[in-house]
Every structure is written in C-alpha cells, then in structure tokens.
Amino acid sequence: MKNKKGTRVVVIGTGFVGASYVFALMNQGIADEIVLIDANPDKASGDAADLNHGKVFAPKAADIWHGDYADCRDADLVVICAGANQKPGETRLDLVDKNIAIFRSIVSSVMASGFQGLFLVATNPVDILAYATWKFSGLPKERVIGSGTILDTMRFRFLLGEYFAISPSNVHAYIIGEHGDTELPVWSLADIGGVPVRKLVAARGERAKEDLERIFANVRDAAYDIIAKKGATYYGIAMGLARITRAILHNENAILTVSACLDGQYGERDVYIGVPAVINRGGIRELIELELDELEREMFHYSASVLKGVLSRYFGEGRAG
C-alpha cells in the first residue's frame, strides 16, 4: 500500500467499463492516484502497465497501479464496476441474483480496510446495487451514489441535439427513474436555449411528435442495440462516470442525474433511483425535485414500484416506504 499523494480513486473491476473509465480519468487528468483491483490480478496489472505507458501524453501524470483492498483505506472514492455483464436478451434487472452476492463480498472487503470515502456504483442493475452498497457499507446514503440515468440523459441530449441540429451541450433535458426499461423522459421541462422542446415540436407538426417518441425509444433501448452489435456498452458510461468523479473530486456542486436514495422526494422513500442531484466533495449535497406533470409523476411512481418490488425480495417487505 502506497502513501497517499493527492486524490485517490480505487476502481474495482477492470473489465470493459472499468478500463474505459480509468482511460477517461487519465485523459482528463481528474485524479492524482488511480488504483486498479480485479478478481484477475494479471488483468489489473496489465491494464496498469498499459495505462502508465500512455500517460506520457496525458494532461496530468496520475500515479496508476494494481493494488488490493488495503489501498481503499485512504481512497477518496471507490468505484465499483465489477459484476456479471448484461447479455443479449437480458434486462438489467435479470442481473440481480448474480451481482448481489458479488457486491456483498466487495463492499465488506472495502469497509474492512477502514475506508471512509464515497462509493460510486456502475454495475447493473445500478439502482438495486447502489442500495445494496448503502446497506452493506453502513455509510450515510449521501456517500453512496449510483451512476443512475446519467448515461440515459447523455443519450437523450445527444439525440435531441442531433434532431434539432444543436450542440448537445445546449440541450437541457433529463431521463429519470430506473436505469432500465421503466425510465422516463421529462418532456415537460426539456428545453433548448430556454425554448421548451414541446413548443419547438409543435411548430413542426404532428410528425415531429412521433419523432420524439422514437427518440425516447432509442434512448431507452440503446443498450440492447449496442450489446447485440458489440457485446457490451462501455465508452458512454465511462464518460458519465468520469463526469461524476470530476464533480466529486473538484467539489463542483454540479447537477447530474444519478441514482440516489429518496427520503420523501417525489413521494417516495427508501429506494435508489435516477434523479437530478447536486454532487460535490461530500457526495450528494441535495436532491433536485422536479415539478413533473401528471403523466410523468405516474410513470415515476411506477418505475419506483418496480425497483421496490425487487428490493423487497432481497432486503425485506417492510424496507420500502
């Protein structure tokens, strides 16, 4: 175990997502130290060597090495990317049985090191596993964050920008709810340059409304399409994880759609689900409660009920409010 020399991120699981995430961290110069842990030590060691060769041209020469759980003791952030991957034909919720046991072991090992930082969970089903991490760790809920719908929101902004021929950085729109089949677009608050998307669509006629339905379907089903073509999704989520990491380590107070534990917001309790939240060095500073329209509220409650149904099977019927 090395002495800490700045911000330290420990990445557990160096598969497609974990390795892509570390590559994004290195390229953006976000962390001072990056520790790689994997069930296959040779994979983590090889990744560390390969990444170190590339940092000659990185904006910031992060110290990268293959470590072990003892390195979590002084970590600012532990990012869990380990677990079974979604296969063609599987939903994210199909992965629960495979990954709950894996997470119990991982989180116990991290906490045994004396870890007092933040957890960021990327493994699917991310809302369920973020909740599990919170319960297994015993940490305050503000210090356990799931990647939530950050990737879905990224896809949503990209496709809307493409449709309206506007930079996605100028598209303001959210996907909330489960990171999965019950997620929903918040059309009522989506805007481009301050102009509501619904107003822009109305000016284009009825066909444009069908176009928006198609855009959301493409967002919701993007993972299925990519998995069918190349076996896994990893570049997009890696960029999303890097964005969350920067908001944490740089104390940005940035609003990002992550999986967070609700405590009365949106009329729900004791469930991790994707919502906009203010992210800083302490984790989740506060949740942003959007003013949803009636249909959006119904869809959100349904999404929460699906997640609660899964959680009740693993953490008891009485746990969800």
Q: Where along the chain do its domains lie? A: 8-146
Which amino acid appears at position 191 of this protein? D
Per-residue confidence in pLDDT tens, the chain, 321 aa? 787 789 999 999 999 999 999 999 999 999 999 999 999 999 999 999 999 999 999 998 899 999 999 999 999 999 999 987 767 776 667 778 889 989 999 999 999 999 999 999 999 999 999 999 999 999 999 999 999 999 999 999 999 999 999 999 999 999 999 999 999 999 999 999 999 999 998 888 778 788 999 999 999 999 899 999 999 899 999 999 999 999 999 999 999 999 999 999 999 999 999 999 999 999 999 999 999 999 999 999 999 999 999 999 999 865 544
Among residues 53, 66, 172, 179, which one is catalytic? 179
Structure tokens at 293: 């329209």
- The pLDDT value recorded for residue 234 is 95
- Cis check for the bond before 196: say yes or no (omega within 30 of 0): no
Q: Closest by alpha carbon to 244, among 154, 134, 111?
A: 154
Q: Tell me the C-alpha distance between 147 and 257, whole Å.
A: 8
- Per DSSP, 218 falls in state H
Going by DSSP bridges, is the β-strand pair 269-280/283-287 parallel, antiparallel, or unpaired?
A: antiparallel
pLDDT at 319: 55
**179 included as an active-site residue:** yes
Question: CA 271 to CA 263: how far, in whole Å?
Answer: 8
**Token digits of residue 128:** 């369920």
3-class SS letters over 145-211: EECCCHHHHHHHHHHHHHHHCCCHHHEECCEEECCCCCCEECHHHCEECCEEHHHHHHCCCHHHHHH
Give Cβ neighbours of residue 165 (< 8 Å, ≥ 6 apart).
none
Nearest to 191 by CA among 217, 220, 214, 160: 160
> What pLDDT score does 92 carry?
64
Task: State the angle between helix axes of 126-137 and 294-315 in degrees (0 to 180), rounded to the nearest 10.
Answer: 50
Instruction: Give the separation between CA 246 and CA 150, rounded to whole angstroms.
Output: 14
Task: Specify the DSSP element, H or E, that contains 284.
Answer: strand 283-287
Q: Closest by alpha carbon to 45, among 35, 54, 32, 33? A: 35
At position 1, the amino acid (one-letter code) is M
Predicted pLDDT of residue 95: 78
CA 101 to chain centre: 20
> Are the CB atoms for 16 and 60 separated by under 8 Å?
no
CATH of domain 8-146: 3.40.50.720
